[in-house]
Chains A and B, each alone.
Chain A
Amino acid sequence: MVERTPVAVTGVHAVSALGRGAEAQLAGVLAGVPAFAPVRRFDVTGRRVGVGATAGDVGPLAEELAGAVDAACRAAGLDRTGRRGSALLLATHGGPVTDGGPEVPALAGWLADRCGLGGRTRTYTSACVSASTAVADAAALIGRGDVTRVVVAAGYLVEPDQYALFDAGRALATDGAVRPFSAGRTGLLLGDGVAAVVLEAAGRRRAEPVATVRGWGRAGDAYHPCQPDPTGRGLARAVEAALRRAGLGPADVGYVNANATGTAFSDASEAAALRGALGGYADRVPVSSTKALHGHALEASGLLELVVTVQVLRHGKLPVNAGWLGPDPACPLDVIVDAPRPAGTPYALSLNAAFGGANTALLVGAA
């Protein structure tokens, strides 16, 4: 494995049902009030579940992505020349769009042109690890010296087709709440997520980093098309790879923003993965899944949760795991349940897992 210096995060932006902007995400997760409400964006008559976390004022996905890229580039202090030298890695769903905007694969080119990004483009359609894989690849490209700057953008806005599919698959929480790692959890709920992050080779520009990407890992379960390996071995290998790249040990990790979706077998698999990767420290590291607050943003979840994790490290407070009813013996973790806690170390893991047994871990450091 190639060792590298950390990659600087110089600009972040996100939109979710918690609000618009990175500060709104921080305020929302620290307030600890879930953003779920009856879905009014489209007709949910006949669905088993009618709840989601939809932002009130969103435009078409392509326009929201362009807005997020512009905001992240502004936050990073990128001028027109700086943008022109930036690559774009985009994470989004690959199917037909329902809002009339450009579709994959043309969307990446449209977005790059619209935002003045002149470097290479790549589009990830790897379901719920799309965005986190893009971040890992961006860091690897920078580390290898291929590029000095990458804008990673990701977007999912709750729409009728995926909603119907998740409802048909009985994946949605029937009690209208997401309860990661908790007894009595009944499933996930979808949520809007559009985010953009600027990653750069550390020290190449006078931009002030807001965080660093210290390590990353990607690994597969080789277990099942749509169920996670109950032993969590694939996710554990992703975490181990992220720690190795960062040169850190389990006890250095002060927070885990878990993938946990509120799904019974998936959350238990993730708990097993943390035990496998962190050993006895898995009992003590503070864990929460902010999906309980902003919902599951599918292809964009990894980037929305990275922005949340960056903001949490900047502020030094760890958000609660909302929806908690009580411990589940299958998830023996130190879940943050009552109130935000102070961060104990400057390092956090952001984990994601997807259909196909795809797993990622991003190890984020405070600036």
Chain B
Amino acid sequence: MTAGEVGGPVVLARAAWPEPGDGAPPPLPGFVHSPFHPLVAAVARRCLDRRPAGTPPGEQTAVVLVSAQGDRASAEHVRAAVAGGARVGPLFFFQSVPNSVAGLVAARHGLHGPVVCLAPTGDPLAGGTAEVDLLLHDGDADEALLVLIEQAPDAPGTAVAVLLGGGTGQ
């Protein structure tokens, strides 16, 4: 364990996208139109790569993704297409919910814990950490990758990922 605590869980690693020197995150095969999904995948990989040496991965690592409105750009594209009577591309079907990219992260990195997506009703970090703390305490997860993503109109967005372990009541 290399860092202090945020509430109950212990911080094992942190990452952000962008960090100095970053451009756009790498494209994500199968996901189109929006920076939302590449951003989630890139910050997740960076955070998991920073796991401290000597700390074995959890057996039930949860993925908790916190975003105010999910993939807003794609949702607005679909809204406009439907309102205008245009065809909606099939790839938008599965990327219409944040679970899909959370599941992609879980599949890529072998994370077998719960997959939970939240829209923050207060401070996103505090809300996401509270969810992680509950999952760790409850025992369905022994570790969690918390990803926080913020999007702004006409900007690529920013993301932070935190790998958390060591719940408070197991």
Chain B residues 99 to 130 lying within 8 A of chain A, measured CB to CB, are 99-104, 106-107, 109-122, 127
Additional pairs, 13, CB under 8 Å, beyond known A108-B121, A125-B117: A94-B97, A95-B70, A121-B121, A121-B122, A123-B119, A140-B134, A141-B134, A165-B78, A168-B88, A168-B89, A219-B60, A219-B113, A355-B99
The digit string for A1-13, where 1 denotes a CB below 8 A from any CB of B, is: 1100000000000
Count of B interface residues, CB-CB < 8 Å: 58
Count of A interface residues, CB-CB < 8 Å: 58
Q: How far is the CB of B62 from chain A (nearest CB, A)?
A: 7
A94: B residues at CB distance < 8 A: 67-70, 97-98, 117, 119
Q: B158: CB under 8 A from chain A?
A: no
Q: B79: CB under 8 A from chain A?
A: yes
Q: Tell me the B residues contacting A by CB distance below 8 Å.
A: 30, 60, 62-63, 67-70, 72, 75-76, 78-79, 81-82, 85, 87-90, 92-94, 96-104, 106-107, 109-122, 127, 131, 134-135, 137-140, 169-170
B139: A residues at CB distance < 8 A: 1-2, 241
Q: How far is the CB of B99 from chain A (nearest CB, A)?
A: 3
Q: How far is the CB of B95 from chain A (nearest CB, A)?
A: 8
Q: How far is the CA of A213 from the CA of B122 in the complex (A)?
A: 28
Q: How far is the CB of B152 from chain A (nearest CB, A)?
A: 15
Chain A residues 218 to 254 lying within 8 A of chain B, measured CB to CB, are 218-226, 234, 237, 241
Q: How far is the CB of B2 from chain A (nearest CB, A)?
A: 25
Q: A103: CB under 8 A from chain B?
A: yes
Q: How far is the CB of B130 from chain A (nearest CB, A)?
A: 8
Q: A201: CB under 8 A from chain B?
A: no
The 4 closest A-B pairs by CB, nearest first: A356-B103, A169-B93, A356-B99, A1-B139
Chain A residues 321 to 341 lying within 8 A of chain B, measured CB to CB, are none
Q: How far is the CA of A143 from the CA of B114 in the complex (A)?
A: 19
Segment among A51-59, A61-69, A156-164, A282-290 that sits at the interface with chain B: A156-164
By CB atoms of chain B within 10 A, which of A94, A104, A108, A171 has the most?
A94
Known contacts A220-B103, A358-B99; decide if A104 and B112 are in contact (CB<8 Å): no
> Would B94 and A104 count as touching, CB distance under 8 A?
no
Q: How far is the CB of A96 from chain B (nearest CB, A)?
A: 5
Known contacts A127-B117, A162-B96; decide if A222 and B140 are in contact (CB<8 Å): no
> Would A220 and B62 count as touching, CB distance under 8 A?
yes
Identity of the chain A residue whose Cβ is nearest the Cβ of B94 in the assembled complex = A226
A162: B residues at CB distance < 8 A: 96
Q: How far is the CB of B118 from chain A (nearest CB, A)?
A: 6
Q: A205: CB under 8 A from chain B?
A: no
> Would A218 and B114 count as touching, CB distance under 8 A?
yes
A167: B residues at CB distance < 8 A: 88
Q: How far is the CA of A205 from the CA of B131 in the complex (A)?
A: 27
Identity of the chain B residue whose Cβ is nearest the Cβ of A354 in the assembled complex = B99
B109: A residues at CB distance < 8 A: 222
A129: B residues at CB distance < 8 A: 99, 115
In the assembled complex, 15 residue pairs joining A and B whose CB atoms fall closer than 8 Å, in A order, are: A94-B117, A96-B75, A105-B69, A125-B117, A126-B97, A127-B99, A127-B117, A140-B137, A168-B90, A169-B94, A221-B112, A226-B100, A234-B112, A241-B140, A355-B103
Known contacts A2-B169, A124-B117; decide if A225 and B90 are in contact (CB<8 Å): no
By CB atoms of chain B within 10 A, which of A2, A221, A358 has the most?
A358
Chain A residues 113 to 142 lying within 8 A of chain B, measured CB to CB, are 121-127, 129-130, 133, 136-137, 140-141
